[in-house]
A and B are shown apart, each in its own frame.
Chain A
Amino acid sequence: MTAANTALPLDDAAAAADPNPAQARNIMIVGVGGQGVLMISKVMALLGQRQGLQVKQSEVHGMAKRGGIVFSHVRFGKEVWSPTIAKGDADALIALEWAEGLRWLDHLKPDTGVFIADTRRIVPPFACRSRKHGATTNYARETPAEIVGRIADGYALDATSIAEELGDVRAANTVLLGTLSVSLGDPAAEWLAVIEELVPKRTREINRKAFEAGRAWAEAARADPELRFDKTIAWRPASRPHADVSFEVTINPAWCKGCDICVKLCPERCLAMSREQVATVKHPEACTGCHVCEWLCPDFAISVKTNVRESATA
C-alpha cells in the first residue's frame, strides 16, 4: 500500500497525516466562466496520467459567456471509480474567484484540505440588490484573513494582480497552479512540462513566469503564516469613480399619445398613466437612468437627464 503511493509524492506532513494513502487524490477547481478552470483541470489530469495513475475528471461548464459558475473535479490514484468528489472529500480546492471558493468550502476535507483562492472579486449580477449607483451588494463579506484562519491549510492571494503585473491577466490560473504545486510537492519541472504542452505556443513564456510567481508566493507563505493571505490588495474599490448621480425624467404631455410603452417597459416601474392617458413620472427617485423610456418613446415625449456631481473624495 505504501509503495503504491510513491507514484505521486506528497508533501511529507500531509502524507503522514493521510490515514489511507492508497485512496485517490481529489482536486476540485472552481471559478466563473472564462477564467481557465478547465485548463487547470487538464493540467492536473495530464500530470496524473504522466505518473501512471488512473484519472477521472468531470465538470460543469458552458456558462462562460455569463460569468456563471464553473467547477471541475479531478481525481487520480491507483484506482479511481467515481468521477465526482463528495462533500468533505476534496484534498485541495482551487478557487479562481473568491466567492466561488467560499461556495464550495464544504467539499474540502475538514482537517487536511488545502484551500487556494484568488481574492479578486467578480460580482455576479444576482448579487446586486439594486441597479442604483453605489448600491451595496450581496457579495460574500468574509475577509481572506477570516477564512484562511478557519482552514487547515489555506492560502489567499491576488493571483489576478500578479498575472496582470506579468503582462497577461489570463495567466492568473497558472499562478494558482504554481501555488498548488508547492502544496502537492511535485517537482516544478514536471508541472512546467505539462503546462507548456497544454498552453498555446506564444503564451508559454508568460505561463512559465506566472507558474514561478505562484510558486514563489506559496514558498514565502509556507515559511511565514502571516503571509498566507493578502491583506492589502484583496478588496479593490469598484472601477467606477464615485459620483453622486441623479436622474431627471421629463415628459412632454403635449407630445405624449398615451401608447403605454414607457409605463410597461420601465424596469423600475417609475412611470404611470394619468387619467388623461398621458404618461407621468410617479416614482422619480426609483429611476436608474437606463434611458429605455427615452429610447422607446415613439413620440419623443420623454427625456432623461443625468445630473453628475463628482463627490469630494473622488
Chain B
Amino acid sequence: MNEIARVSDFDVKDYLRLNLMPHFMCPGCGHGIALRSLLWAVHELGIDRNKLAVVCGIGCSGRTGAYIDANTFHTTHGRPLAFATGLKLARPDLTVVVITGDGDCLAIGGNHLIHACRRNLDITCLMLNNEIYGMTGGQVSPTTSATRVTSTTPAGNTEPTFDACKLADAAGASFVGREVTRQAPALKNLIRAAIEHDGFSFVEVMSDCTEIYGRKNELGESAEMILSQKSDMVPDGLGNAPDQPFRPNRMATGILARHARPEYGRTYRERSAELRAGTEG
C-alpha cells in the first residue's frame, strides 16, 4: 500500500512551466523521460525549487531546462559546467544541476567537463546522450556509434566513440553513473543518488533521438528504440561490463564509480577564510 501511495504522490505538472507546454521536443524523444526522472528525484529529495538551479547548454538537451519551474539558466554552447562552477562557488546553498548533451558536453565542452571533474565541485551533471547533434541538423557527435548514418557521415560513421563515464571517472569525478531512459525509476534513483552525493556527479543518460537518428538508421520507431535499450544494457553497476571500443550494444548501467574526494567548494572556502584571517591578524 505504501509503495502505491508513494508513486502517486509525485505530479510532474507541479514542477513544469505550464505556459510553455507542450514542449518543443520531437515525438518519442527520450529527453522528456530524462526530464521527468530528474523532477521525480527532486521531488523525492524534497528540494525547495527556489534553491534549485538548473544550468543548460545548447542543443535539444539545453532546451529541456526551460520547462522546469525553478531557477534555470540557458548558457552558451558547451559552457554550462563553467557557468555552473561560478554559480556554485558564489551560492553554495543552491543545488546545482547541469543538463547537457553528448555534443555539448564531450565535443564543444569537453575541456570544461574534464576540469569540472578534476575540481570536484558539488554539481550534478546530467549528460543526455542521444548520439547525435539533433537540433542543428543531425551531425555526427563524439558518441555516435560505428557505422551509423548521420548528415555528416552519409556512408556511416568511421570514428571511434568516447566512453563518457570512463572519461569522467579518469578525469576525477567522484560519482559516475549511467542509466537508460527505459528504466525511468532506476534513472530517478541514480539521479537522486547523484544529487545527494557530495562532490561532482556525472550521470550519462542514454536517450533516444527518433526523428533524426533512429529514422535514418532504421532503428525503428520510438517504441522499438526504447525497447531495444534493455537488450543493450548490462545492469552491472561496478561490475564486469565487457570492454568494447565502440560503446553501445553492451553498456554497463548503474553507479559505475564512487570515490571519496574533498569537495572543492569547501576546500576553497576554508582556504580563503584562512587567508582572510591571516591578513586581518
Most interface-central of A257, A259, A291, A298 (chain B CB within 10 A) = A298
Taking CB atoms and an 8 Å cut-off, the chain B residues in 18-42 that contact chain A are 21-23, 25-33, 36-37
B185 contacts chain A at the CB level, 8 A cutoff: yes
A261 contacts chain B at the CB level, 8 A cutoff: yes
A308 contacts chain B at the CB level, 8 A cutoff: yes
Q: In the complex, what distance in Å separates the CA atom of A314 from the CA atom of B222?
A: 43
* Residue in A closest to B39 when the chains form the complex, CB atoms: A300
Pairwise interchain contact A298-B29, C-beta atoms closer than 8 A: yes
Q: In the complex, what distance in Å separates the CA atom of A245 from the CA atom of B2?
A: 13
Pairwise interchain contact B5-A259, C-beta atoms closer than 8 A: no
Pairwise interchain contact A298-B1, C-beta atoms closer than 8 A: no
Q: In the complex, what distance in Å separates the CA atom of A73 from the CA atom of B11?
A: 54
Interface residue total, chain B, C-beta cutoff 8 A: 34
Q: Contact check: which of B5, B16, B37, B227 meets A265 at CB < 8 Å? A: B227
Q: Contact check: which of A245, A300, A306, A308 meets B13 at CB < 8 Å? A: A300
Closest CB in chain A relative to B276 CB, distance in Å: 48
In the bound complex, residues from chain A placing their C-beta under 8 Å from that of B54 are: none
Chain B binding surface, main DSSP class: helix
Q: In the complex, what distance in Å separates the CA atom of A11 from the CA atom of B26?
A: 76
Pairwise interchain contact A305-B8, C-beta atoms closer than 8 A: yes
A289 contacts chain B at the CB level, 8 A cutoff: yes
Closest CB in chain B relative to A76 CB, distance in Å: 39
Interface residue total, chain A, C-beta cutoff 8 A: 28
In the bound complex, residues from chain B placing their C-beta under 8 Å from that of A304 are: 8
B223 contacts chain A at the CB level, 8 A cutoff: yes
Taking CB atoms and an 8 Å cut-off, the chain A residues in 220-251 that contact chain B are 240-241, 243, 245
Closest CB in chain A relative to B12 CB, distance in Å: 5
Q: In the complex, what distance in Å separates the CA atom of A243 from the CA atom of B3?
A: 14
Pairwise interchain contact B30-A257, C-beta atoms closer than 8 A: no
In the bound complex, residues from chain A placing their C-beta under 8 Å from that of B227 are: 264-265
In the bound complex, residues from chain B placing their C-beta under 8 Å from that of A300 are: 12-13, 16, 21, 32, 36
B210 contacts chain A at the CB level, 8 A cutoff: yes
Q: Contact check: which of B1, B11, B222 meets A259 at CB < 8 Å? A: B222
Q: In the complex, what distance in Å separates the CA atom of A169 from the CA atom of B29?
A: 47
Q: Could you name 7 residue pairs across A and B whose Cβ atoms are closer than 8 Å?
A: A257-B22, A259-B221, A260-B223, A264-B223, A296-B226, A300-B12, A300-B21
Binding site for B on A (CB under 8 A): 240-241, 243, 245, 254-255, 257-261, 263-265, 289, 291, 295-301, 303-306, 308
- Using A261-B222, A300-B12 as known contacts, list a sample of 17 further A-B pairs with CB atoms less than 8 Å apart, ordered by residue number in A: A240-B1, A241-B1, A255-B21, A255-B22, A259-B27, A259-B210, A259-B222, A260-B28, A261-B28, A264-B227, A265-B226, A296-B181, A297-B33, A298-B31, A299-B25, A300-B36, A303-B11
Binding site for A on B (CB under 8 A): 1, 4-5, 7-8, 11-13, 16, 21-23, 25-33, 36-37, 181-182, 184-185, 210, 221-224, 226-227
The 7 closest A-B pairs by CB, nearest first: A298-B32, A259-B28, A264-B223, A295-B184, A257-B27, A259-B27, A255-B22
